[in-house]
Structure 1
Amino acid sequence: MMLPTPTSRLLVTCFTLLAFAAPDRSAGSDWPQWRGPDRTDVSKETGLLKTWPEGGPKRVWLFENAGSGYSGPAIVAGKLFTLGTRDGQEILLVLDANTGTEIRAVKLGAVLSNDWGNGPRGTPAVDGDRVYALSGPGNLVCVQVADGKILWQVTMASLGGKVPNWGYTESVTIDGPKVLCTPGGAKGTVAALDKLTGTVIWQSKEFTALAHYSSIVPATINGVAQYVQRTEKSVVGLKADDGKLLWETSFAGRTAVIPTPIVRGNEVYVTAGYGSGSKLVRIEKDNTVTTVYENKVMKNHHGGAILIGDHVYGHGDPGWVCQDFKTGAEVWMHREFGKGAIGAADGMLYALEERSGTVALVAASPTGWKESGRFKLDPQTKIRAARGQVWTHPVISNGKLYLRDQDIIYCYDVKAR
């Protein structure tokens, strides 16, 4: 028997250290709020499938008791948080993100009633040991993650708000010590609350438009921390410290303005449906606003628009659109896949067709729609409103794809092996 020499022992030790130090070719990440950690809807996941087998990726689990609503999932530390309905109340639902096992359901109050589908619309925001959620009728609740205890709650009505036609759909924002929400109305369109107590820190007294359906994006523009939000006719930047109106630009929204703004550097991009179109503005150092372009190339209703590189992707009515972010020009349009919502990860788009519940995997490329797999959600809900469709956006987190159709939540394994 040959005994190891000092040199051989050193080599083994070095190879062992290298093996432990070598980076994993795949990386997973949590999804703590609407559109992910940075509100771009572009997941930082890597090592994911680039093609799907026939019938789609393997389904890991199925949960069938989420109730009504269009709330999406927030995923943190192995737990999935979403909103739904049960026993005549809207609920915060907590599941094991890996198995789909229910952990708890926390009652949040009355159910929003609407012809397009009852129940909550917004996605919860998880921050440490707390989760924040806004119900359809406008009840903002802070819940302790460990045991589901409600720590505080504030209604949008108490902040001067009025429930919009399709309910409160905002996914609230956590930024440092503050939770941001958009009650709308004369007291101030946007409110910043102390996230520990629910106490009002400020409301945007210079900006008092009624709430629409978009969610706030925290940003630093020209070195100034601020919050970008939009209503039916305006896009604004509010100073993070005190809610002061820094800049405002008009936007010709109609009926319902929904998609979350996109911020890159000192540029802000918005789009909306009902023929409204898209607009890119540049915020100068003195907070004057320069319009870069405004056109009808992207008319995104509510499925979301995503910026990857220098291109914006989303359903633009009448088809899926790739738009040049810098110029606003149409790069390509694809009409053979129906209108719906979008997510992105690892260089791929996850497109969900709202009418059929079909999901397609598409390259995020300006060279055209290049599909490399699709499948149809099965089973599908039996409780969807007659006018409702599959409107919850796809989420990719920790190697898994999460989808929802009302009471049914689906989890698929999309990690490459």
Structure 2
Amino acid sequence: MSRLLLLFVLLVATSGIATAGDWPQILGPQRNGIATEEKLAKKWPVGGPPVVWERSVGHGYAGVAVEGERAVLFHRVKDEEVTECLNANTGETLWKQAHATDFYPQVGGADGPLCVPVISQGHVVTFGAQGVLSCFKLDSGEELWTRKTHEDYGALEGYFGAGATPIVVGELVLVNVGGSKEEAGVVAFDLATGETKWTRTAEPASYSAPVEVTLEGIPHVLMITRYKCILFEAESGAARFEIPFGQRGPTVNAATPLVIDNKQLFLTASYGIGSVLADFDILHYSPVWEDDAPLATQYCTPIHQNGLLYCIDGREDQPPADLKCIELKTGKLKWVEHNFGYGTVLFADEKLIIQKNDGDVILAHVDETGYRQLSHAKLLSGEVRALPALSNGRLFIRDAKTLKCVDIGLK
């Protein structure tokens, strides 16, 4: 080994530079809740995993996004929605920007933002509860542009405010705005300037985050709106197909669609909507099965592993909720943990990380034979809805008052 290479290896080994994956957007790099590069501790200490740092936060249910040594927090402090970039190792504020807000939800919940920030190409994109879409430089915090999408396009705020996290595809920011003007249900904005590039459909907004899928070499986006799942070509906005999915009345679509091997998609929602598995290509879809019995979850996005789905079934506001394992191709129930409690799930290093709404965090082994808890700790309190982020062996979690960074990595 050359002296230069040896020096590099030693520096990496001793400097604490992150070598595992980032978590730059909702549900991780692929928006599927899976961290492929992480290595986790097999068990936690009796008192729970070590807390690296913690700090107070404002209102909202937006989890953080992490890239390298920067974590971006989006929260409401008094009468402002604040985008705050933190040192991921210490929790120290590096920069922050704020916009005034007077948002108040129609149906309970917090008055802060819901959408996880998106970090892409040195930019940070945030989408506030009143539809304020903003873009900043990740390194300096310089504000590049802001759009008041609800005002521009006549969008309703919905039950809980805007909650469909945007997606960045190439040089475009795609948002389920839900605008009533100019058929602005879905709008594409220029990442560099904020200029509107195209608008499509009159579909109201959901609380589901879209996902990118490349078909025949062309970037597309699968987006669940209030009543449909639509496949758009990202650059042109051309709608390739749409699947009816949703119900009128007091219902929401909130789980993120899953794409399996670029040829199947899985959708799920509560409120009597249920689940759909469909085959698809660039122009067509064909349902494989549809049912509300196996799984109908409020906002927990399922984890797909080896032909199985792991998810918490039910609703937060109507307990009990059950942890289930479903066979993807048939919808058959493989096993269930009854009265488990509602929450969200991530997957890394062959382990399921479960954050429950009561503040319990669980590390578990799951496969087709059953569920085995490895570790458990009460890490949060009160109302816990923000999605966790996992980056470089550290889990970033928050409740209504506190953001914590805890070390769950393999030593």
Shared fold per TM-score greater than 0.5: yes
The sequence identity of aligned pairs, in percent, is 28
What are the Cα deviations for residues 354-376 of structure 1, in whole angstroms up to 9, with x where unaligned? 1x211111114222111101000
Does the CA-based 8 Å contact 1:27-1:46 persist in structure 2?
no
Residues 34-49 of structure 1: matches in 2 within 5 Å?
34-49=26-41
How far apart are residue 111 of structure 1 and its match?
4.5
1:349-402 CA-to-partner distances (Å, cap 9, x unmatched) read 111121x21111111422211110100025x36xxxxxxx21112221111011
d(CA) in 1 for partners of 2:145, 2:374 = 46
Structure 1 residue 59, shift from structure 2 partner: 1.0
The separation in 2 between residues aligned to 1:176 and 1:284, in whole angstroms, is 21
- Name the residue aligned to 2:335: 332
CA contact (8 A) 1:112 1:120 kept: no
TM-score w.r.t. structure 1 length? Answer: 0.88
Separation (CA, whole Å) in 1 of partners of 2:387 and 2:2: 47
Aligned CA distance change for structure 1 residues 283 and 360 (closer, same or farther; 3 Å): same
Provide the rounded CA distance (Å) in 1 between the counterparts of 2:172 and 2:350.
Answer: 33
Runs of 5+ unmatched residues, structure 2? 315-320
Alignment of 1:168 onto 2:157: no
Within 1, Cα distance between the matches of 2:239 and 2:79?
Answer: 40
Q: CA deviation at 1:252?
A: 3.8
Amino acid at match of 1:290: S
SS in 2 for 1:32: coil
Structure 1 distance, partners of 2:336, 2:360, is 19
Q: How high is the TM-score relative to the length of structure 2?
A: 0.89
Counterpart amino acid of residue 370 in structure 2? G
Q: Distance in 2 between matches of 1:142 and 1:362?
A: 37
Offset of residue 223 of structure 1 = 4.6
Deviation readout 1:70-128 (Å, 9 max, x if unpaired): 00110012011021111311111211111111223210230432221110000111123
Q: Among 60, 82, 97, which residue is 2:52 paired with? A: 60
| Larger of the two Rg values belongs to structure | 1
Distance 1:222 1:300, change over 3 A: farther
CA-CA distance at 1:199 after TM superposition? 0.6
Report how many residues are paired. Answer: 390
What amino acid does structure 2 have at the position aligned with 1:412?
V
**Partner Cα distance (1:93, 1:13) in 2:** 42
Q: Does the 8 A contact of 2:169 with 2:234 survive in 1?
A: no
| Residue 286 of structure 2 is aligned to residue 290 of structure 1 | yes
| Structure 1 residue ranges without an equivalent (≥5) | 1-11, 382-388
Match in the other structure for 1:386: none
Within 5 Å, give how 1:16-415 maps onto structure 2. Answer: 20=9, 28-64=20-56, 66-114=57-105, 115-157=108-150, 158-186=152-180, 187-204=183-200, 207-221=201-215, 223-253=217-247, 255-264=251-260, 265-284=262-281, 287-296=283-292, 297-317=294-314, 318-354=321-357, 356-378=358-380, 380=381, 389-415=383-409
Q: In the alignment, is the contact (CA less than 8 A) between 2:359 and 2:379 conserved in 1?
A: yes
1:183 deviates by 0.8
Aligned residue number for residue 318 of structure 2:
none
- Structure 2 residue identity aligned to 1:353: K
Contact kept, 8 Å, 2:70 with 2:87, in 1: the verdict is: yes
Q: Which runs of 4+ in 1 moved over 6 A?
A: none
Deviation, structure 1 residue 284:
4.1
Shift of 1:167: 0.6
Q: Is the 8 A contact 2:394 2:405 kept in 1?
A: yes
Specify the code of the residue in structure 2 equivalent to 1:256: V
**3-state SS of paired residue (2:371):** coil
**2:345 partner amino acid:** I
1:62 is displaced (CA, Å) by 0.8
Mapped partners of 2:198, 2:225: distance in 1: 19
- Structure 2 letter corresponding to 1:334: E
